[in-house]
């Protein structure tokens, strides 16, 4: 369900969760706490400096978001939407920095302040721990070590909100340096985790109903977040009119989104260039010009031969 304690490790330090009193039974590697109205939950994380010198660590609390690769990301520092009734990143109080001597460990305590009202949704955030770099080394290329500890809060009511998924926009984008994609912007508008949602996308040509692309995926969609579902496009996609149909299934919930698309000549050329497809359309004009030249040469030779024949005929008379 969750990308737990993701990191790029060089062994200089570690960060982990210390289960709280109201931790969900059986879960120890990240925080999974039940909503308790009008209560302040205490929790702790353990940071260990394994290096031979003092080190400062930065601690961020970020909203959990499903990224365009289909992975739950805890490192995105974009603030939560103010339209959300409860912003978990604001409910959690935790030190932003901690400095540890060489070879030492420290339990960093934080608090989670619950409002008075009950809650039936799910909120998700992540505690992002990273080494603080010296100011004169901020631009240096390095293998940054980062630990992400998921932080889940489940409502005190087990009746979850009715899921609501909406289509925001569709646009042609670069999926990678060599491939383009049709990025489908969606929004999970309720405070509910759409776990293992099945995506089925199909793009057809309006000209002949030919299926251009079919793509299936299974994703976990984080609560109250906008995200992008990219559909990879073929490298030789021609200009024209297309129809997109996206079906999303989560348990008993089903959504179907349709959108008409028009790919211009310039967009098709950009897709092909990004994929390394060489444009040989200029050869058409070359062959056309050569054909015209050959026709003129043939006509010239025929006319010249005809005149020469007529000249010989006049001499014979």
184-205 pLDDT tens trace: 999 999 999 999 999 999 999 9
Q: Flag whether pLDDT at 2 surpasses 80.
A: no
Element (H, E) at 161: none
Number of domains in the chain: 2
What burial letters (b/e) apply to 109-126, b meaning 16+ CB within 10 Å?
ebebebeeeebebbbbbb
Q: Give the pLDDT band (50/70/90) at residue 309.
A: low
41 and 133 housed in the same domain = yes
Residue 223 has pLDDT above 60, yes or no: yes
Residue 65 vs residue 277, higher pLDDT: 65
Domain containing residue 195: 165-274
Specify whether 169 is located in the same domain as 107.
no
Torsions phi, psi of 259, nearest 5? -150, 130
Query: Does the structure show a pLDDT above 90 at 313?
Result: no
- Identify whether 308 is part of a domain: no
Same domain, 145 and 242: no
What pLDDT is recorded for position 51? 93
Tell me if 1 is assigned to some domain.
no
269: alpha, beta or left, given left = phi > 0 and alpha = psi -120 to 50? alpha
Q: How confident is the model at residue 255 (pLDDT cuts 50, 70, 90)?
A: very high
CA distance 198 to 209: 24
The average pLDDT across 34-56 equals: 96
pLDDT band at 310 (very low <50, low <70, confident <90, very high): low
**CATH code: domain of residue 48:** 2.60.40.10
The region of weakest confidence among 80-84, 171-175, 288-292 is 288-292
pTM as predicted: 0.79
Confidence of residue 102 (pLDDT cuts 50, 70, 90): very high
pLDDT confidence of residue 45: 97
Q: Is it the case that residue 276 has pLDDT exceeding 70?
A: no
Percent of the chain with pLDDT over 70: 85
Query: Are 99 and 226 contained in the same domain?
Result: no
Q: Is the pLDDT of residue 162 over 80?
A: yes
Contact 62, 3 (CB under 8 A): no
303/268: higher pLDDT: 268
- Tell whether 269 and 197 lie within a shared domain: yes
Instruction: Please report the pLDDT score of residue 141 as a whole number.
Output: 47
Q: Does the pLDDT of residue 295 top 50, yes or no?
A: yes
Q: Do 18 and 142 have their domain in common?
A: yes
Q: Which of 236, 256, 238, 237 is nearest to 246 (CA)?
A: 256
**Residue 57 belongs to a domain:** yes
Q: Is the pLDDT of residue 18 over 80?
A: yes
Do residues 135 and 44 both lie within one domain? yes
Please give the mean pLDDT across all residues of the chain.
88
* Predicted confidence (pLDDT) at residue 307 exceeds the cutoff of 70: no
Same structural domain, 118 and 172:
no
Task: Give residue-wise pLDDT tens across range 125-151.
Answer: 999 999 988 765 555 445 567 899 999
Q: What pLDDT, on a 0 to 100 scale, did the predictor assign at position 205?
A: 96
């Amino acid at each position: 369900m969750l990308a737990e304690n993701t990191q790029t490790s060089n062994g200089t330090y570690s960060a982990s969760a210390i289960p709280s009193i109201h931790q969900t039974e059986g879960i120890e590697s990240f925080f999974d706490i039940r909503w308790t109205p009008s209560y302040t939950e205490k929790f702790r994380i353990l940071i260990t400096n394994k290096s031979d010198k003092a080190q400062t660590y930065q601690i961020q609390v970020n909203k959990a978001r499903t990224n365009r690769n289909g992975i739950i990301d805890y490192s995105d520092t974009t603030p939560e939407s103010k339209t959300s009734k409860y912003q978990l990143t604001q409910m959690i109080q935790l030190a932003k920095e901690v400095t540890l001597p060489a070879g030492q460990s420290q339990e960093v305590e934080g608090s989670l302040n619950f409002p008075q009202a009950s809650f039936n949704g799910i909120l998700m955030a992540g505690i992002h721990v990273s080494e603080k770099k010296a100011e004169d080394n901020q631009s240096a290329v390095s293998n940054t070590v980062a630990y992400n500890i998921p932080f889940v809060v489940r409502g005190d009511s087990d009746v979850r909100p009715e899921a609501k998924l909406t289509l925001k926009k569709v646009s042609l984008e670069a999926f990678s340096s060599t491939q383009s994609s049709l990025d489908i912007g969606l929004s999970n508008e309720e405070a509910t985790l759409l776990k293992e949602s099945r995506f089925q996308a199909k793009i057809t040509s309006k000209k002949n109903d030919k299926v251009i692309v079919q793509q299936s995926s299974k994703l976990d969609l984080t609560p109250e977040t906008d995200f992008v579902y990219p559909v990879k496009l073929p490298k030789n996609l021609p200009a024209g009119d297309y129809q997109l149909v996206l079906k999303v299934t989560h348990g008993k919930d089903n959504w179907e989104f349709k959108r008409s698309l028009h790919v211009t000549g310039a967009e098709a050329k950009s897709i092909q260039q990004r994929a390394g497809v060489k444009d040989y359309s200029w050869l058409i004009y070359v062959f056309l010009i050569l054909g015209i030249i050959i026709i003129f040469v043939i006509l010239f030779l025929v006319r010249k031969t005809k005149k020469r024949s007529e000249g010989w005929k006049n001499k014979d008379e």
